[in-house]
Structure 1
């Protein structure tokens, strides 16, 4: 049975089509790199503390030498404001929108993910609360799905959510949410003096935090495969027992970063765009996830009734 035939047997859900700008890319070609200049993301350089030395000056007294040298101040976790009214207008999940079809769709989608996320873990199992959202190609709606899934889980009474923009070559989470670029994941992996708390963004949705992609780096694949990344994932998976971590990943058929990231994940959700993504592309993408124990599909952007307003159907399994 083909992957499309399998998808047809799954749950059909509908929502109104969002603005095209809400997809991870609005066209079928890779977009330009999003974000500020890397130097701007990294922020101003920190000058060394202590008195300047002048050539020929007398040596400091013993008392002065004994004074402790102040250390550079650490960055504190920043708080950003999500424009919930704008998100609601653009067709996204928000608590203030009331009971909508889209909200119900993502309630259905999130439930089995949450059940597996907090099920008893067997020795050797990957943390099931690490969930990667991906697609085979750009423009299939993975970023839109990642944000909506994160917002839906944030409404739970017993869980918190960390949304990670792991599409480090073309980050789009902050752009989609109308937020400026910030330091993030790549900066943590490049500088062992930077802690996750230094770059994580807290939001006005109390149970939702965001870890941006950060400064673009040509060694992204190697950084994601590093022991530093492995330690970071262990930390974010286990520090808080109620936390779900959603990763917006690069498309599987365009980059090697997504395959490396998938090797750490307990659950994968692959977004498939109806009437656009070929069966060959879906099969090729799924073949790269054959070692992942839990792979789920969201069958997206289906025009179910010709001549009637386009709808988005989710087939989940």
Structure 2
């Protein structure tokens, strides 16, 4: 793991002309001088007292359909189960939320260089982890339109189609549901043709703005496609406040990480790179539950 981290740091330094020993600067699009001196961002977490009554009513109107716990554990979705091994997800959740809150951000995308890195599982675990806080509402949105998998992972049968919401053919109230009291999802019924075109369409942007306004979530997490599989992520990244890049240990190369991180930084803010599927962990990386 240390070798991978060192290689990533060297790649970043080579791009920016910095000494690898210097702290890495935050990656993201250049600030707009016209807005750089604007007012401080509003707090991200609304809480029950600040949330509009209309948003609460709309949220509670979404059908509640908790997935089977045994199915979640088989799919390695343990963020909402109270499992003793949730520590790593909880630490990532807390760090991500802290940084997003400090910037006033709500829209987080999660992608990977290639398929098979575990990004959808990460999306689910982060979402369920966020929703464990009774004062936070989270919406997970399926924007990996070529290979949607929310339905399989959550055991959904029928229901709405989030792709129709993006096309302006349905409201989120018809397609969305809640997997927990504070966690809503928008799942696609199947693969979508011309996904990049749909993701950057005016109907999709209008739909997302409407969801944010009507339901007032604290966090919206987008399951993005793998970056190197097409142009879908680059077509949509500008609509996100920030992105996490997920790499798979022993599979993802440093070059792939470097290319993806560089390209993402031209469109949005890169929160960091998360190494997944690491088989060899030091004992200090986690200690399970308290006795």
- TM-score, length of structure 1 as denominator length: 0.65
The aligned counterpart of 1:282 is 257
1:300 pairs with 2:283: no
**Is the partner of 2:264 in helix, strand or coil?**
coil
5+ residue gaps, structure 1, are: 9-75, 122-127, 313-317
Residue among 128, 149, 152 paired with 1:172:
149
Q: Equivalents in 2 of 1:138, 1:96: separation in Å?
A: 26
Structure 1 residues 189, 86: CA separation in 2 closer, same or farther (over 3 Å shift)? closer
Contact between 2:79 and 2:89, CA under 8 Å: does it hold in 1?
no
Structure 1 residues 95, 185: CA separation in 2 closer, same or farther (over 3 Å shift)? closer
5+ residue gaps, structure 2, are: 10-60, 287-291
Q: Equivalents in 2 of 1:279, 1:145: separation in Å?
A: 20
Q: CA deviation at 1:280?
A: 1.4
The aligned counterpart of 1:199 is 175
Structure 1 residues 259, 214: CA separation in 2 closer, same or farther (over 3 Å shift)? farther
Contact between 2:106 and 2:220, CA under 8 Å: does it hold in 1?
yes
The aligned counterpart of 2:128 is 151
Q: CA deviation at 1:305?
A: 6.5
Q: Which runs of 4+ in 1 moved over 6 A?
A: none
Structure 1 residues 136, 96: CA separation in 2 closer, same or farther (over 3 Å shift)? closer
Structure 1 residues 183, 277: CA separation in 2 closer, same or farther (over 3 Å shift)? same
Contact between 1:163 and 1:209, CA under 8 Å: does it hold in 2?
yes
Deviations 1:257-298 (A, max 9, x none): 122221111110111001111111111211220222233211
Q: Equivalents in 1 of 2:112, 2:281: separation in Å?
A: 25
Q: Equivalents in 1 of 2:114, 2:280: separation in Å?
A: 22
Residue among 99, 108, 115 paired with 1:131:
108
Q: Equivalents in 2 of 1:94, 1:226: separation in Å?
A: 33
Residue among 251, 255, 271 paired with 2:230:
255
Structure 1 residues 275, 263: CA separation in 2 closer, same or farther (over 3 Å shift)? same
Q: Equivalents in 1 of 2:182, 2:64: separation in Å?
A: 13
The aligned counterpart of 1:31 is none
Q: CA deviation at 1:110?
A: 1.0
The aligned counterpart of 2:206 is 231
Q: CA deviation at 1:88?
A: 3.1
Contact between 1:249 and 1:258, CA under 8 Å: does it hold in 2?
yes
The aligned counterpart of 1:82 is 67
1:110 pairs with 2:93: yes
Q: Equivalents in 1 of 2:62, 2:213: separation in Å?
A: 19
Q: Equivalents in 2 of 1:188, 1:255: separation in Å?
A: 22
Number of equivalenced pairs: 232
Structure 1 residues 181, 255: CA separation in 2 closer, same or farther (over 3 Å shift)? farther
Q: CA deviation at 1:92?
A: 2.5
Q: CA deviation at 1:104?
A: 1.4
In the TM superposition, 1:61-72 aligns within 5 A as none
The aligned counterpart of 1:210 is 185
Q: CA deviation at 1:78?
A: 4.0
RMSD (Å), alpha carbons: 2.9
Contact between 2:119 and 2:223, CA under 8 Å: does it hold in 1?
yes
Q: Equivalents in 2 of 1:226, 1:269: separation in Å?
A: 23
